[in-house]
Chains A and B, each alone.
Chain A
Amino acid sequence: MIFQFESLNQFVTMDGHGIYVWTAVIVSVLFLAVLVINPLLRQKDVKVEIAKDQLREKQRQVSNREKT
């Protein structure tokens, strides 16, 4: 296996095809990253929401007990 380009500069330009190849790479990597990061963020949100619900429920129970 050998590096196919003579210089780093040539690796970037790819004899004129660099703009096409690198656009494809950057856009693909961005979209793939979003597909993994999005559920991570939503997972956190859902957990926080459920925890808040539980807290609210507990407070309601406590205040009900105080009334009686």
Chain B
Amino acid sequence: MNWNWFYRMGSPKWFYYTTSRWLPWLGVMTLCLLVTGLVWGLAFAPEDAKQGNSFRIIYLHVPASLLALAGYFLMAAAGAIGLIWRMKLSFMVMKCAAPLGAVLTFLALFTGAIWGKPTWGSYWVWDARVTSMLILLFLYLGVLALQYAFQSQEVGNKASAILALIGTVNIPIIYKSVDWWFTLHQPSTIKFTEAPSMHPDMFQPLLVMILGFYCFYALALFMSVRVEILHRERKTAWVRDLVSQVAEERVGVNS
């Protein structure tokens, strides 16, 4: 089997130039999906029979939670690839996925708390799902903190990757928490094995929002990995060429 593509993917330069071409498309797609999904969900989806209009928070809560979980898998996988194949790029991906995931987890908890007030009568409940999501937030913050806890970048990378890998235990627990324990949190709207427990009129905008959040995740991750690449590869010839090209263009425009 030809493994060239795998090694090429690990090249920061290749990643930088390829994503340059993708970013504009990804940006437009993200914006279109999120705006469509949000307007559709907030204004055109039918009201929930039991929860009234407060259910519309689902259009932010579910995509944010889903990406918080998927993002954790991505971060842990990037850490594992970094540990096994010593790829520089995959450690950069891991580092950039941590703050991104932390923000998404925070949003999931925040929108959940706001949704909890009119639905459960309380902003915060020590329920299995909510508590395991809080642990996910701490895991993300832990991975991020370990990056800066060591003098050497290499040691920090390894420590972060190991914590990320250990933390993956939490992901199936979060996913299954609503089935394993008696909780206040409603069962999953979307399951891998069954049809969604939602009317199509409500489900379609949710699907658009989930797609939008996936695109957004890719966009935000690519953008911050690119900054990380420039920063870590600043001494290499290609970054120096790139920056001096940009500088010359600026000077040319100004004069």
- Enumerate B210-232 residues with CB–CB distance to A below 8 Å: 216, 219-220, 223-224, 226-227, 230-231
Contact A20–B54 (Cβ < 8 Å): yes
* CB neighbours of A14 from chain B (8 A): 52-54, 56
Known A50-B230, A50-B240; judge A21-B247 contact (CB<8 A). Answer: no
Contact B45–A4 (Cβ < 8 Å): yes
Report the interface size for chain A: residues with CB under 8 A from the other chain.
Answer: 34
Known A35-B100, A46-B230; judge A20-B57 contact (CB<8 A). Answer: yes
Q: Which of A16, A31, A38, A46 has the most CB of B within 10 A?
A: A46
Contact with B along A11-51 (1 / 0, CB 8 A): 10011111011011101100110111011101100110011
Complex alpha-carbon distance, A19 and B118, angstroms = 10
A interface: dominant SS? helix
Contact A4–B43 (Cβ < 8 Å): yes
Contact A21–B53 (Cβ < 8 Å): yes
The answer, yes or no, to whether B111 is at the interface (CB within 8 Å) is: yes
* CB neighbours of B224 from chain A (8 A): 38-39, 42
The answer, yes or no, to whether A2 is at the interface (CB within 8 Å) is: yes
Known A15-B53, A39-B224, A54-B243; judge A46-B231 contact (CB<8 A). Answer: yes
Give chain A nearest CB distance to B50 CB in angstroms.
Answer: 13
Contact A4–B219 (Cβ < 8 Å): no
Partner of B244, one of A20, A28, A43, A51: A51
- Enumerate B113-135 residues with CB–CB distance to A below 8 Å: 114-115, 117-118
Contact B64–A28 (Cβ < 8 Å): yes
Contact B38–A25 (Cβ < 8 Å): yes
Contact A47–B64 (Cβ < 8 Å): no
Partner of B243, one of A5, A21, A47: A47
The answer, yes or no, to whether B239 is at the interface (CB within 8 Å) is: yes
Contact B118–A39 (Cβ < 8 Å): no
Give chain A nearest CB distance to B177 CB in angstroms.
Answer: 22
* CB neighbours of A53 from chain B (8 A): 234
Known A14-B56, A43-B223, A50-B230; judge A20-B46 contact (CB<8 A). Answer: no
* CB neighbours of A11 from chain B (8 A): 43
* CB neighbours of B230 from chain A (8 A): 43, 46-47, 50
Known A40-B223, A50-B234; judge A25-B60 contact (CB<8 A). Answer: yes
Contact A42–B227 (Cβ < 8 Å): yes
Chain A residues engaging chain B, CB cutoff 8 angstroms: 1-5, 11, 14-18, 20-21, 23-25, 27-28, 31-32, 34-36, 38-40, 42-43, 46-47, 50-51, 53-54
